[in-house]
Amino acid sequence: MRICFIQEPLHAGVGRHTVDVGRALADRGHEIHVVYSPERLEPQFLRDLTSHPRIRCHAVRIMPGLDASDALAFWRVRNYVKRNGPFDVIHGESSKGGGFARLLKLFGAKTVLYSPHAFVTLSPFLSFAKRQVFTGIEFLLSKLTDVIVCSSQSEREHARSLGIAPEKLTVVVNGRAAVLGRDRQQLRNDLGLSDKVVIGFAGRLEAQKAPHRLIEACLRLLPKQPHLHLLMIGDGPERSRLEAMMHTAGLDGRVTWLGAVDAVQYMPAMDILAMPSAYEGFAYVLLEALHAGLPIVATPVGGTAESVLPGKNGIIVPHHPVEPLVAALRQLGRDAELRHWMGQAARERAAHFSVARMVDNLEGLYYRLCDAKACSAASRSHPRTAANPISGRAPACRTD
């Protein structure tokens, strides 16, 4: 097949997903095109894609959110698809890429899919007016979509709450390959954490990831638990405020700020992974924590129900108040044996989220959609020969 991915970001989880899926599909003999924006780009992801001989990448400047340049950007995307098509499948990734991909239906695109990677409307920070606008956009664009690929059951439930027809929705959970991290003891020695129980966070320091909730919990927990240490991975607009909170509490020496580094390489230094996010589609940090054998303390967002089995490999806590998060971290921080067997259960759980399984499901979905459209076209072009000569019924076309 000839498959074109369209997306605005090529970074974080969306970029990771595109690299893993794109390279795996290319390894299976498919021709892959990726139209991306250089505005939010991790260069390593682009190198991973362009190094494959069956993957072509094309940059179009697409700005995040609604922007005055969107019409021009869409026209450039449309021109690329027209010049290099036809494509068997066009797959829009994230909200802006998904919007552009679906609008291509108006210009003759046959099979179009959309992966939200967390609907904008999941955000609890949207004003009522913006929520109504984005809900309307998602509902209308769903009419131009063959399938919306949700990454978790909770994301699918949210899509239904937007009025999107259930037959348009399917779930393909994310997958992640195990990555060899650094030696645990050497890493902890290098960071000065050899005798500490380390609570880790990995993600952008912004409202969606809610790092302030973890800091609030640690302000209550760390003064009473001198063996605990906080390891913060990531950068973003909240960082200075979070650092100020720890400084004001006199806890500067109890937290290590690593900035925007490869979290997988530093997870071996952790004893617990905390993910207090306000909303998610299916955060890759959950899968990386499973492979690292970390107990997980997380809020009930997309992907948590699939990856965290409460009491077995982690604890799910409510968004508010902060006390259950404090209690969960205290329990795990005190109990080395509990951390050990939860970590073993996490590694066992990781086997359910392989890249191969994710790509199998997506590839199968592509084939079913293309086969169904081919059967439908054949039935319209040759109604007599397409019918079953015995029953008079059209041959079955599998749909999702």
Q: Which domains does the chain have, with CATH numbers?
A: 2-175+354-384 (3.40.50.2000), 184-350 (3.40.50.2000)
Q: Give the model's pLDDT for residue 179.
A: 84
Of the ranges 24-28, 140-144, 176-180, 212-216, which one carries the lowest mean pLDDT score? Answer: 176-180
Q: Give the model's pLDDT for residue 395.
A: 30
Backbone φ/ψ region at 29: left (φ over 0), alpha (ψ -120 to 50), beta: left
Per residue in 310-364, pLDDT tens?
999 999 999 999 999 999 999 999 999 999 999 999 999 999 999 999 999 999 9
**From the CB of residue 198, how many other CB atoms can be counted at a distance below 10 Å?**
22
Q: Give the model's pLDDT for residue 110.
A: 92
Q: Quick one: pLDDT band at residue 372, thresholds 50, 70, 90?
A: confident
Q: Is the pLDDT of residue 249 over 50?
A: yes
Q: Quick one: pLDDT band at residue 200, thresholds 50, 70, 90?
A: very high
CA distance 130 to 96: 16
Of the ranges 45-49, 262-266, 371-375, 385-389, which one carries the lowest mean pLDDT score? Answer: 385-389
Q: Give the model's pLDDT for residue 384.
A: 38
Tell me, what amino acid is at 253?
G
Q: What rounded mean pLDDT belongs to the chain?
A: 92
**From the CB of residue 126, how many other CB atoms can be counted at a distance below 10 Å?**
15
Total-model pTM:
0.88
Q: Is the pLDDT of residue 63 over 60?
A: yes
Q: Give the model's pLDDT for residue 377.
A: 55
What is the maximum span of the chain, computed from C-alpha positions, in angstroms?
A: 82
CA distance 84 to 246: 53
